[in-house]
Structure 1
Amino acid sequence: MRQDFLIVGGGVVGMAVAYGLARAGQRVTVLDERDDALRASRGNAGLTWVQGKGIGMPRYAELSLDAVQAWPAFAEELQARTGVDLQYERRGGVDLCLDADEAETRQAEYRTLQTVSPRLAREFEWQYLHRDELLEHLPGLGERVHGGTWSPHDGHCNPLYLLRALYAASLDLGVTLHPATPVQSVARRAGRFVATTPRGDIEAERIVIAAGLGAQTLAPMLGLSGAVRPLRGQIIVTERLPLIDQLPTPQIRQTASGGYLIGDTHEDAGFDKGVTLNMVNALAAKAVRIFPRLSQARLVRAWGALRVMTPDGNPLYEASKACPGAYNINCHSGITLAAFHAGDLARAILDDCLSQDFPQFSGERFHVPA
């Protein structure tokens, strides 16, 4: 059967685009690697977040705002289609500042964003709250925390349930999925795109590279940018503890099952996704500084994963000029942007107007002559 789209990559980014295209009536095939692949989808805290996005690129902050505003309907739609509860909440969130210098830098960055973007000046709501003011949102917050920025836009979900729901909804819409099928090369032949795999060649009219770090080698084969690199993040999880009514933070959040998810590391470790004792100790110390009550909590899991980072940290959305019909989608914020990827971005790909609608995110920005 002829396929309209071939998507290389079955993580949150690729599956959100696959779902959006299938929902629009397209015939979609997804090729995914084996389960031991370097999956960025394992390395996140499940935040749907605006804060901290777009420093240096306000359009990214605007996209994040669009995405979180679309998230409630997106979550409801996925649950209605699949029966999977994404454990999604949007009651606001807090990005903590451990000291005064961090607090001053954060506030200056947000004010600058709102100065250069009229839309963010109107719509991006945030407020700096000192530690005592945050106790309402974060009961038991440690005295050695200076404060944090609060925003009503932010929320969180269960990222594993999100991925499960995207798979279930996509399969229900007729998406063909090939797991354990790593793509060795991609090419354009006789007006069609061909992905070479150990299971043979697979063809489609158009192709989307959503392969995370795999884009380093695959994207340039179609005249697209391979300018991505790994950035390791380590995460530790506590035992299940009584649920407390508190807002999520990027540093630590309590999941619906009661365990505390603790992360927020950024390590340039190449392709090493291992766990290190010194970082586990640092994460545990930070968690106790934030919530002293966790000093007696037992750790039950720890893992490392590789985020996908572009040179400037902002998303990469581009259409190939050399091979029309080929697209490259890459970002490190796949949870937040999932509703956008399944919505406006999928429509832009379908209508072949990605370059016109989102010119700021082209890979050409990494190759400007000196």
Structure 2
Amino acid sequence: MPAAPEFSSAPRMRTDNDIAVVGGGVVGMCLAFGLAQKGLNVTVLDEGDRAFRASRGNFALVWLHTKGLGNPSYSRWSKRSVELWRQFADHLKEVSSIDVGLEQRGGFLLCLSEKEMLGRAGACDRLARELGNDRHPLEIMDHVQLSRFLPALGSDVVGGSFCPLDGHVNALRLFGGLHQACERLGVTYRPNNEVDDIRPAPGGFDISTPNGTISTPKIVLAAGLGNARLAPMVGLSAPVRAERGQIIVTEKLDRFLDYPIGNVRQTDEGGIMIGASKEEAGFNTGTTYPVLADLASDATRMFPILGKARVVRTWSALRVLSPDECPIYDQSTRFPGAFLVTCHSGITLAAVHALDLANQIAAGVLAPELGIFSARRFADVQKTA
């Protein structure tokens, strides 16, 4: 039998919140936005700028393509979010008055060798088989076909794939829009409140921060890499790790790229973003010349026009990855009212988090179909290994 809950004896502070969201990045703010739309009084506890905030360092793609290869449930969940993104962006603008710059004309993945091309075609075919009748459009194109959409394409590009559902946004405006919308909806945002401890208490939870203790009936852990430490406090598990991605940003150029590529995109302001590497570097958020040089080399082979562009800045950020790189959604059976949300596709999944997942959390129970994303799947794998 599970151990009996250990309730906190600390005095409870008088609060008027219905739910506390731990984490003020895109994932946490999308949930806060959705929860506030349901009429709940929401408090967001944010570590602040000391956090490993992927929200300010991501590539800002709204991306489906072959996402979910090997896990069709993840592909379907991502597709739902991609299809909801226009509705989400329009509603966010209504509340916040901020246009997040969503462009959703489709997106490409380009191949620089025949071997890459064979792998890309194989991945598209495999995903189509896995999804069956739920498959989404994916088209393989040769160099000539690609050039009709990408006139600046370099001769080294052998071919690629196209998904008409893909797109991208202005990540900083999305982040600002979420914060502005939440403020207008009455969400209480408390920065510089890293959570030290969470203790179950009568009727909810006591959350200890450097600035005091906050009591809440419900809690959502959306703290990215911090969820690994926090989840066990409420009887959950978040086996997540960091993966570093480096990004190059160029000066603003005349418009030449109307579609995002998996590793190159032209922002609505004209600058070119080039990325993003995948590195096992722990919590190191530095940049390295060899990796940046490889990113630049691939980008200039794809679009030679970039060879003359000046680099204005580089940075890196840490992805939040589960063992199978799919989201983790959970609710605690030991401590009812505690939820866990973690993923590395916070931009792509923003719409479904705000419009679907927040509604489920507000209702107090996750939909059965999300059970496949519980962290229990990792325990089951370990038992059968």
TM range (shorter): over 0.9
Question: Which residue number corresponds to residue 191 of structure 2?
Answer: 179
Residue 92 (structure 1) aligned with residue 106 (structure 2) = yes
Pairwise CA distance, 1:286 = 1.2
Q: Is the 8 A contact 2:222 2:341 kept in 1?
A: yes
Choose from 281, 295, 299 the match for 1:269. Answer: 281
- Counterpart of 2:234 in structure 1 is 222
Q: 1:307 aligns with which of 314, 319, 340?
A: 319
Equivalent residue, structure 2, for 1:147:
159
Does 2:79 match 1:65?
yes
Matches within 5 A, 1:112-131: 112-121=126-135, 124-131=136-143
What SS does the corresponding residue of 1:30 show, helix, strand or coil? strand
- What is the TM-score with the length of structure 2 in the denominator? 0.93
Counterpart in the other structure of 1:255 = 267
In structure 1, runs of 5+ residues without a counterpart are none
Q: Name the CA distance, whole Å, in 2 between partners of 1:133 and 1:6.
A: 50
Provide the rounded CA distance (Å) in 1 between the counterparts of 2:66 and 2:278: 14
CA offsets, 1:242-285, max 9 Å, x none?
A: 11252111210011111100012100000101011111111111
Instruction: Say what the alpha-carbon RMSD is for the aligned residues.
Output: 1.2
Distance (whole Å) between structure 2 residues aligned to residue 102 and residue 185 of structure 1: 47
Q: Residue 41 of structure 2 contacts residue 186 of structure 2 at CA under 8 Å; is this kept in 1?
A: yes
Matched, 1:53 2:67: yes
The reply on whether 1:341 has 2:350 as its aligned counterpart is no
For 1:7, the equivalent position in structure 2 comes to: 21
Q: 2:150 aligns with which of 121, 138, 144?
A: 138
Q: Distance in 1 between matches of 2:142 and 2:57?
A: 30
Contact 1:224-1:319 at 8 Å conserved across structures = yes
Q: 2:297 aligns with which of 285, 288, 293?
A: 285
State the identity as a percent: 45
Deviation of 1:321 after TM superposition, in Å, equals 1.4
SS in 2 for 1:336: coil
Q: Is the 8 A contact 1:348 1:357 kept in 2?
A: no
Instruction: Give the C-alpha shift of residue 331 in structure 1.
Output: 0.4
- Do the aligned residues in 2 keep the contact of 1:141 with 1:292 (CA within 8 Å)? yes
Q: 1:100 to 1:120 in 2, by over 3 A?
A: farther
Q: Secondary structure at the match of 1:271?
A: coil
Q: Is the 8 A contact 1:319 1:355 kept in 2?
A: no
Q: Contact between 2:47 and 2:193, CA under 8 Å: does it hold in 1?
A: yes
The one-letter code sitting in structure 2 at the alignment partner of 1:300 is V
Are the counterparts in 2 of residues 318 and 355 from structure 1 also a CA contact under 8 Å? no
Distance 1:71 1:366, change over 3 A: same
Instruction: Give the equivalent residue in structure 2 for 1:363.
Output: 375
Distance 1:135 1:113 in 2: 25
TM-aligned CA deviation for residue 110 of structure 1: 2.3
Determine whether 1:35 maps to 2:49.
yes
- Mapped to 1, the partners of 2:160 and 2:254 lie a distance apart of 24
Secondary structure class of the residue paired with 1:136: helix
Paired letter, 1:84: I
For residues 212-235 of structure 1, give each alpha carbon's deviation from its aligned partner in whole angstroms, at most 9, with x where no partner exists.
000110011111112000000000
1:101 aligns with 2:115: yes
